[in-house]
Amino acid sequence: MTSLLIRGAALLGSEPADLRVRDGIIVDRGSLAVEASERVIDAAGLVALPGLVDLHTHLREPGGEASETVLTGTRAAAAGGFTAVHAMANTSPVADTAGVVEQVLRLGERAGYAEVRPVGAVTLGLAGEQLAEIGAMARSAARVRVFSDDGHCVHDPLLMRRALEYVATFDGVVAQHAQEPRLTVGAQMNEGSLSGELGLTGWPAVAEEAIIARDVLLAEHVGARVHICHLSTAGSVDIVRWAKARGIAVTAEVTPHHLLLTEELARGYDARFKVNPPLRRDEDVQALRAALADGTIDIVATDHAPHPAEAKECTWAEAAFGMVGLESALSVVQQAVVDTGLLGWADVARVLSTGPAAIGRLAGYANPLAVGTAANLTLVDPSHRRTWSVDDLRGRSTNTPYRDRELPGRVVATVFRGVPTVIDGAVVDPDIVAAAHLEVRRG
């Protein structure tokens, strides 16, 4: 029997209490006495949250191991307080068959740092021409419920309609990368006066908004769920708000970086800030924050996109899109919407844990920190401040936009299925994590 006592944590940011974890389950909460042979974590001054869930992670494996592996990516996830991640399908080979999604599932189980839920591709090879094996992936051991061609837009309206009809038969969801390809040929940054000044091809807001408008109407027409990846414009917020008021089953996510950073960062041509969709205007950032606060935007998702150094340490035009974000997500959310008074910690639990779990149909997160539930939790020190550096990263790539930037908050501990994966801010060795999981299973 394994037993862990977390003492004095502010549960969801409210009054301090103790949590007892036994054999992977939260078995008691309140004012608790230490029992014999019990491991104790002193959590005074810390906020206890349910383990974070990311609906949008790029783990790169198979095929992109130079950037990230399932092991290194889930270590980064644990460092950021995550206990579950949804791994996007744009691997090599693409996760468009039952075999590939089951491979990713097994790699996650072997790593032991987080539950890895594979995302299946909507179309074969992400080519946008023929539907992938959606039913086979849904019936596989991976039980895929989220399908996305992320990195590419499902731009053919008939294919999108068929995909929505298909996933509706088993309560799945299509997560759309909203980018009209004809309007973004050669696009490098947000379209506006700054893109003209810098001489970079603009990425118009309407390229995102037009796809969202089309897809919410398609979802309504066929009675399916559609999820919009990484909203970035105020206009997109308006469309999602309108669709929800109409009763359409649409959910939406925003990335931490779109809640904090603006297009002004492109002035230095530093490719760390090149991302898809691009950083937008301050007016868009404020609209996204307000939409997250009022529930129009359902969740925060990292779009963690690791790249090797050579893909980012080059000219802006040649650089790859994307930035890593698992380790920094909670700090950025704290700065953007908690420290500004827009959200409390219970709201953070909703947008970074229970909300994404619900969209992905991931079990075990509906009643955060309740007795009888799986012990997936995160302890955060909100008073901590630090200047971010690559030493804070635990994945394989270092393309963070926050280097040399001060951010609040620190994940002190992460517990996945009763097993500490992060203690005192340090990621636990994989052999120790594996042995602890084995001990929990033995009970």
State the pLDDT at residue 442. Answer: 84
Please state the rounded mean pLDDT for residues 64-90: 98
Distance between CA 372 and CA 393 in Å, rounded? 33
Q: Report whether 56 belongs to an annotated binding site.
A: yes
State the pLDDT at residue 441. Answer: 86
pLDDT digits (tens, 9 = 90+) for 186-195: 999 999 999 9
The CB density around residue 409, as the number of other CB atoms within 10 Å, is: 23
pLDDT digits (tens, 9 = 90+) for 410-435: 999 999 999 999 999 999 999 999 99
State the pLDDT at residue 370. Answer: 96
Query: Which amino acid is present at 205?
Result: A
pLDDT bucket at 302, cuts 50 / 70 / 90: very high
Query: Which amino acid is present at 171?
Result: D
Residue 165 burial class via C-beta count within 10 angstroms: exposed 0-12, middle 13-18, buried 19 and up:
middle
Per the DSSP assignment, residues forming a β-bridge with 378 are: 49, 414
pLDDT higher than threshold 90 for residue 2: no
Distance between CA 164 and CA 173 in Å, rounded? 7
pLDDT digits (tens, 9 = 90+) for 313-366: 999 999 999 999 999 999 999 999 999 999 999 999 999 999 999 999 999 999
Taking every pair of Cα atoms in the chain, the longest distance, rounded to a whole number of angstroms, is 68
Q: Report whether 152 belongs to an annotated binding site.
A: no
Percent of the chain clearing pLDDT 90 (strictly above): 98
Q: Report whether 307 belongs to an annotated binding site.
A: yes
Per the DSSP assignment, residues forming a β-bridge with 374 are: 25
Q: Report whether 367 belongs to an annotated binding site.
A: no
State the pLDDT at residue 298. Answer: 98
pLDDT digits (tens, 9 = 90+) for 95-116: 999 999 999 999 999 999 999 9
Distance between CA 384 and CA 69 in Å, rounded? 30
State the pLDDT at residue 37. Answer: 85
Instruction: Return the domain boundaries, the chain.
Output: 3-47+373-442, 51-360
Q: Whole-prediction pTM value?
A: 0.97
Q: Report whether 303 belongs to an annotated binding site.
A: yes
Helices 98-111 and 70-79, axial angle in degrees (round to 10):
50
> How many whole angstroms from its chain centre is CA 104?
17
Q: Report whether 90 belongs to an annotated binding site.
A: yes
φ, ψ for residue 218 (rounded to 5)? -65, -40
Indicate which residue of 303, 347, 392, 424 is catalytic. Answer: 303
DSSP calls for 322-335: -B--TTTHHHHHII
> How many whole angstroms from its chain centre is CA 291?
18
- Smallest CA-to-CA distance from 349 within 384, 376, 371, 318 is with 376
Please name the CATH architecture into which domain 51-360 falls.
Alpha-Beta Barrel (3.20)
pLDDT digits (tens, 9 = 90+) for 361-390: 999 999 999 999 999 999 999 999 999 999
Please name the CATH architecture into which domain 3-47+373-442 falls.
Roll (2.30)
> What single-letter DSSP state applies at residue 374?
B
Q: Report whether 60 belongs to an annotated binding site.
A: yes
pLDDT higher than threshold 90 for residue 128: yes
| 407 SS3 class | strand
Distance between CA 442 and CA 419 in Å, rounded? 13
Q: Report whether 46 belongs to an annotated binding site.
A: no
State the pLDDT at residue 231. Answer: 98
In whole numbers, what is the pLDDT of the chain averaged over residues? 97
Q: How many Cα atoms occupy the beta-carbon half-sphere of 120 within 13 Å?
A: 32
36, 8, 46, 397 alpha-carbon torsion, rounded to 10° = 20
Please state the rounded mean pLDDT for residues 63-72: 97
pLDDT digits (tens, 9 = 90+) for 181-236: 999 999 999 999 999 999 999 999 999 999 999 999 999 999 999 999 999 999 99
Q: Report whether 298 belongs to an annotated binding site.
A: no
Residues 11/405, Cβ–Cβ less than 8 Å: no
Token pair belonging to 159? 């294919």
pLDDT higher than threshold 80 for residue 70: yes
pLDDT bucket at 443, cuts 50 / 70 / 90: confident
Q: Is 54 a catalytic residue?
A: no
Residue reference for tokens 């080519």: 127
Residues 149/215, Cβ–Cβ less than 8 Å: no
State the pLDDT at residue 343. Answer: 98
Query: Which amino acid is present at 240?
Result: V
Residues in Cβ contact with 318 at an 8 Å cutoff, skipping those fewer than 6 apart: none
The CB density around residue 127, as the number of other CB atoms within 10 Å, is: 13
Distance between CA 369 and CA 313 in Å, rounded? 43
Q: Report whether 177 belongs to an annotated binding site.
A: yes
> How many whole angstroms from its chain centre is CA 398?
17
